[in-house]
Structure 1
Amino acid sequence: MKLLQGIVMVVFVVLTACTVEKTDYEAELSTDTTEYIEFEEVTTTNSGDYTISIEALNGTLYKGYNEIHLKISNSETLTNLEDVAVTFLPIQTDANGNKSSCPHQYNLEYDATEGYYLGYVVFTSESDSTVSWQAYIDFQESSQTYAINQPFTVEEQTNMNLNMTAFTGNDQEQYIIALVAPQSPGVSENDLVAGIYKYNTPESEAGTFPDLTQYSYSIVQNHTLVLDPRMPEPSMGNHSSPNNEDLTQDTDSLYHGVVNYTMTGNWTLNFIFQDADGNTIKGTEVSTEFTPGIEGERSELYIDILF
Structure 2
Amino acid sequence: MKFSKYCVIALCGVALSCTIEKTDYEAEIATETTEYFEFEEAFSVSSGDYTISVEALNGTLYKGYNEIRVKIIDSQSNETLENSLVTFLPILTDANGNKTSCPHSYNLEYNSTEGYYSGYAVFTSESDTTVSWQAYIDFQVDSQSYAINQLITIEEQTNMNLNMTAFTASDNEQYFIALVAPQSPGVAENDLVAGIYKYNKPTSEAADFPDVSQYSYTVVSDFTLFLDPRMPESSMGNHSSLNNQDLTQESDSLYHGVVNYTMTGNWTLNFILQNENGKIIKGTEVPTDFTPGIEGVKSELYIDILF
Give the structure-1-normalised TM-score.
0.93
* Aligned ranges 1:260-279 → 2 under 5 Å: 260-279=260-279
| Matched residue, 2:129 | 129
For 2:182 and 2:224, the matched residues in 1 are separated by: 19
2:27 alignment partner, SS class: helix
Question: Deviation at 1:95?
Answer: 1.0
Task: Provide Cα deviations, 1:38-90, integer angstroms capped at 9, x if missing partner.
Answer: 00000011000000000000000000000000000011011111111100000
For the 8 Å contact 1:17–1:293, the answer to whether it is kept is no
Q: What are structure 2's unaligned runs of at least 5 residues?
A: 1-15
| Matched residue, 1:89 | 89
1:79 alignment partner, SS class: coil
Higher RCO by CA contacts (8 Å cutoff, separation 6 or greater): 2
| Matched residue, 1:11 | none
C-alpha spacing 1:46/1:306, structure 2 compared with 1 (3 Å): same
| Matched residue, 1:100 | 100
Question: Deviation at 1:18?
Answer: 3.4
C-alpha spacing 1:79/1:173, structure 2 compared with 1 (3 Å): same
Q: Which of 13, 17, 20 is the aligned partner of 1:18? A: 20
2:161 alignment partner, SS class: helix
| Matched residue, 1:116 | 116
One-letter amino acid of the structure 2 residue matched with residue 110 of structure 1: Y
Question: Deviation at 1:142?
Answer: 2.1
C-alpha spacing 1:152/1:237, structure 2 compared with 1 (3 Å): same
For 2:162 and 2:263, the matched residues in 1 are separated by: 18
For 1:162 and 1:31, the matched residues in 2 are separated by: 15
One-letter amino acid of the structure 2 residue matched with residue 128 of structure 1: D
Give the structure-2-normalised TM-score.
0.93
For the 8 Å contact 1:31–1:159, the answer to whether it is kept is no
| Matched residue, 1:33 | 33
| Matched residue, 2:195 | 195
Two-structure CA RMSD over aligned residues (Å):
1.3
| Matched residue, 1:9 | none
Q: Is 1:77 paired with 2:83? A: no
C-alpha spacing 1:56/1:86, structure 2 compared with 1 (3 Å): same
One-letter amino acid of the structure 1 residue matched with residue 49 of structure 2: D
* Aligned ranges 1:162-181 → 2 under 5 Å: 162-181=162-181
Deviates more, 1:276-285 or 1:262-271: 276-285
For the 8 Å contact 1:231–1:296, the answer to whether it is kept is yes
Q: What are structure 1's unaligned runs of at least 5 residues?
A: 1-13
Task: Provide Cα deviations, 1:249-304, integer angstroms capped at 9, x if missing partner.
Answer: 00110000000001000000000000122211100000111100000110000000
One-letter amino acid of the structure 1 residue matched with residue 97 of structure 2: G
For 2:162 and 2:115, the matched residues in 1 are separated by: 27
One-letter amino acid of the structure 2 residue matched with residue 208 of structure 1: D
| Matched residue, 1:304 | 304
1:27 alignment partner, SS class: helix
For 2:187 and 2:94, the matched residues in 1 are separated by: 41
1:89 alignment partner, SS class: strand
One-letter amino acid of the structure 2 residue matched with residue 41 of structure 1: E
For 2:156 and 2:32, the matched residues in 1 are separated by: 13
Q: Is 1:213 paired with 2:197? A: no
Identity in percent? 74
One-letter amino acid of the structure 2 residue matched with residue 49 of structure 1: D
For the 8 Å contact 2:17–2:292, the answer to whether it is kept is no
1:62 alignment partner, SS class: coil
Count, aligned residues: 292
For 1:218 and 1:188, the matched residues in 2 are separated by: 32
One-letter amino acid of the structure 2 residue matched with residue 37 of structure 1: F
One-letter amino acid of the structure 2 residue matched with residue 233 of structure 1: E
Whichever of the two has the greater Rg, that structure is 1
C-alpha spacing 1:279/1:206, structure 2 compared with 1 (3 Å): same
For the 8 Å contact 2:62–2:123, the answer to whether it is kept is yes
